[in-house]
Structure 1
Amino acid sequence: MDKSVIKFSHCGKDIFCFFVPEECPECGMGFSGRRLEEAPISIPNPFTNGHKTPCAFLIAPAEENTLREYDGGSDLHTGITDTNGIAYNYTKSGVRRDCEGWEHCISIRLVQPDMYNLINQWDQYLEKFSSAQMWDPLWKSFNEENHNCYSYTLMFINCVLAMQSKRALSKDEFTQTFILPRIKRAAKYTMLCQEITHNHFYIVDSPKRDSQKEQDDEDKDEKSKS
């Protein structure tokens, strides 16, 4: 499990680390008093144990993605969990029902806790959908472009939406709205963890400092014109 990433600000910098040090790594000032410009905040970990997230859409690195990356260029795999956290996912050999292997993934809950009728029927819907002929590799082969794990998961989600009399989501719409923002967040979080592991800290200019510098430059320009 990833350590918790903490962010605090000091001397015009945003500083990311696993724990707040006794002194600022940028200027060396001690923090014995309350000299932090902002209270430290914890950066939410975008990864969860998919097997502990029932009725959810899961994203994890594909088996051939040996570096386990979420960088936008590496292959990813998707699945749907039942109410017990079993991950249903479509592969070249058909639909798998994994009880392990999705412990470090991105998850998107698909059902609100108070949707009791849907939760009670969820497993039945998922099993019936997964047993359909179209997911039998002897009937229709896995295709990287248009008959893959993503097709399987999105089609199931749209079947559930149809049962609720809601409109279907297109592949682009679902990707842009739900997938890409979470993948970007996961990639950034992974980068932060790697930088902190190697260098103890990850330090960048604070956006407030940048905006203040831009304002000061604009004020100087205005004065020089007058």
Structure 2
Amino acid sequence: MSFSGRRLEEAPISIPNPFTNGHKTPCAFLIAPAEENTLREYDGGSDLHTGITDTNGVVYNYTKSGVRRDREGWEHCISIMLVQPDMYNLINQWDQYLEKFSSAQMWDPLWQSFNEDNHNCYSYTLMFINCVLSMQSKRALSKDEFTQTFILPRVKRASKYTMLCQEISQNHFYIVDSPKRDSREEQSDDDKDGKSKSKSEFVHVA
């Protein structure tokens, strides 16, 4: 933002960190850099990995070897809360739902192999979300809908945050040429993302 005509003490002193410790975020959809993404980038061109946490922060995620249950390794990721804290009935059954879903034959690599296009970590997580939505008499979410509404805005925010941190770390400051232009572009991006800011945090599986 422009600081013209403002006092330094009125300047913003911090911005929200888009990353969280996934193991401390129960009942959530997680996004993290894939193992092949050695630079751990969220630049839109690097591979990302997805998972679902149980109520204890164990991350269920589908890989070429089947469903993994990770108790570490997701300490720096993007998270999307799927359940509100007051949804006690769903929370009480969440672990049972997740374990039963993950034990299904379709996630057994001996029965069906991992496929990067149509049988991957994203297929696993979105299918679980839709299964829970179905049990709650909610409509299913398409891949494009979920991606545009919930994933892309957060990945873009994470990418901008990472770039900002790198610039400040290297140069101790960051300046853009035209704040007004950037503001208009950001508003345009939000509109393209399905006007995500006008919606709730998630279609809570209530």
TM-score in same-fold range (> 0.5): yes
Residue-pair matches, total: 198
**CA apart distance, 1:91:** 0.2
Moved more, 49-58 or 213-222: 213-222
The sequence identity of aligned pairs, in percent, is: 90
For residue 211 of structure 1, what is the aligned residue in structure 2? Answer: 183
List alignment gaps of at least 5 residues for structure 2: none
| Separation (CA, whole Å) in 2 of partners of 1:224 and 1:132 | 31
Q: For 1:164-205, what per-residue CA distance to the aligned partner results, in whole angstroms no more than 9, with x for missing partners?
A: 110000000000000000000000000000000000000124
Segments of 4+ in structure 1 off by > 4 A? 29-34, 208-226
SS in 1 for 2:155: helix
Greater fraction of residues in helix = 2
Distance 1:211 1:33, change over 3 A: closer
The structure that has the greater radius of gyration is 1
> How much has 1:215 moved relative to structure 2?
19
Residues 119 and 218 from structure 1, CA distance in 2 versus in 1: closer, same or farther, beyond 3 angstroms?
closer
Deviation at 1:40, TM superposition (A): 1.8
1: distance between equivalents of 2:19 and 2:199? 50
Q: For 2:33 and 2:111, locate their aligned partners in 1 and report how far apart those are by CA, in whole Å.
A: 27
Q: What CA deviation, in whole Å up to 9, does each residue of 1:72-106 have, x standing for no partner?
A: 00000000000000000000000000000000000
When residues 199 and 132 of structure 1 are mapped into structure 2, their CA distance, relative to the original with a 3 A threshold, is same
Structure 1 length normalisation: TM-score? Answer: 0.76
- Change beyond 3 A, Cα 1:31–1:89: closer
What displacement does 1:63 show?
0.3
Residue 58 of structure 1 aligns to a residue in which SS? strand
Residue by residue, what CA displacement relative to the aligned partner does 1:133-191 show, whole Å, maximum 9, x if unpaired? 00000000000000000000000000011111100000000000000000000000000
> How big is the shift at 1:207?
3.1
Between 40-49 and 90-99, report the one with greater CA deviation.
40-49
Q: Which runs of 5+ in 1 are unaligned?
A: 1-28
Asked if the contact 2:53/2:59 (under 8 Å) is kept, the reply is yes
Q: Higher strand fraction: Structure 1 or Structure 2?
A: 1
Question: Offset of 1:32 from its aligned partner?
Answer: 17
Determine whether 1:224 maps to 2:196: no
